[in-house]
């Protein structure tokens, strides 16, 4: 198969940094500003939401292959607050709740198959804080994507992990 991730369009405010491997079969999206805060001091609201989206164009002459996405970030919630991560990719939706007293990094994996010769990815964060003990801080730092059928030979493993800007 030829390079699959050969172009993209960004959706939403402030563009992320997108790196695509030399062979076009893997990518990393780096977000510098996908973060939400709720009830974390007097200047933040009790509820907050943030989102980013990207659309990769795929070759029209080839059938789409399954793609594995790994969404990485951090979630912090106090005793009376919650947060939610929503991942939408290739027609697959994943809802990840973070209950009270969460304080951890996360990596959520989604497997999807693109359609209409494009891979659409949307990532949303929703924070709900309470008046007392209700601070929420959540972010997504990166989304990594790889074609599932990629099985590099041992001598190709280093090259497969290389990305270009």
Contacts of residue 3, defined as CB under 8 A and 6 or more positions apart, other chains included, come to: 23, 24, 25, 59
The label of the residue with tokens 């939610």 reads 84
List strand residue ranges (DSSP E) for 31-129, in order. Answer: 35-38, 47-57, 67-77, 82-89, 92-98, 103-112, 118-128
The secondary structure of 22-47 as a DSSP string is TTSSEEEEE-SS-EEEESSSTTS-SE
pLDDT above 90 covers what percent of the chain?
44
pTM, two decimal places: 0.80
CATH class of 7-150: mainly beta
Residue bearing the bigger pLDDT, 93 or 20: 93
pLDDT above 70 covers what percent of the chain?
77
Contacts of residue 48, defined as CB under 8 A and 6 or more positions apart, other chains included, come to: 36, 37, 38, 126, 127, 136
Give me the chain's average pLDDT, please: 80
Residues 160, 140: contact at Cβ < 8 Å?
Answer: no
- pLDDT tens digits for 50-71? 999 888 887 777 777 888 999 9
Instruction: Of 2-16, 42-56, 77-91, give the range with the top mean pLDDT.
Output: 77-91
In this prediction, residue 100 carries a pLDDT of 95
In this prediction, residue 56 carries a pLDDT of 83
- Report how far residue 56's alpha carbon sits from residue 148's, in angstroms, rounded to the nearest whole number: 16
Q: Can you tell me the mean pLDDT for 71-85?
A: 96
In this prediction, residue 144 carries a pLDDT of 96
The label of the residue with tokens 């030979």 reads 153
- Report how far residue 128's alpha carbon sits from residue 81's, in angstroms, rounded to the nearest whole number: 6
In this prediction, residue 45 carries a pLDDT of 76
β-pairing, 163-164 vs 17-21, is antiparallel
Residues 53, 121: contact at Cβ < 8 Å?
Answer: yes
């Amino acid at each position: 198969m030829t390079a699959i991730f050969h172009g993209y369009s960004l959706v939403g405010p402030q563009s992320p940094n997108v790196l695509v491997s030399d062979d076009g079969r893997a990518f990393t999206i780096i977000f510098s500003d996908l973060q939400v805060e709720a009830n974390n001091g007097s200047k933040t609201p009790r509820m907050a939401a943030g989102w980013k989206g990207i659309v990769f164009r795929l070759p029209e002459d080839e059938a789409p292959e399954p793609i594995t996405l790994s969404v990485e970030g951090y979630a912090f919630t106090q005793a009376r607050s919650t947060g939610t991560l929503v991942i939408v990719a290739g027609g697959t939706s994943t809802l990840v709740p973070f209950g009270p007293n969460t304080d951890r990094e996360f990596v959520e994996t989604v497997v999807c198959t693109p359609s209409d010769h494009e891979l659409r990815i949307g990532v949303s964060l929703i924070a709900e804080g309470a008046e007392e003990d209700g601070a929420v801080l959540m972010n997504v730092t990166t989304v990594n994507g790889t074609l599932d059928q990629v099985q590099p030979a041992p001598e190709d493993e280093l090259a497969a992990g290389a990305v270009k800007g």
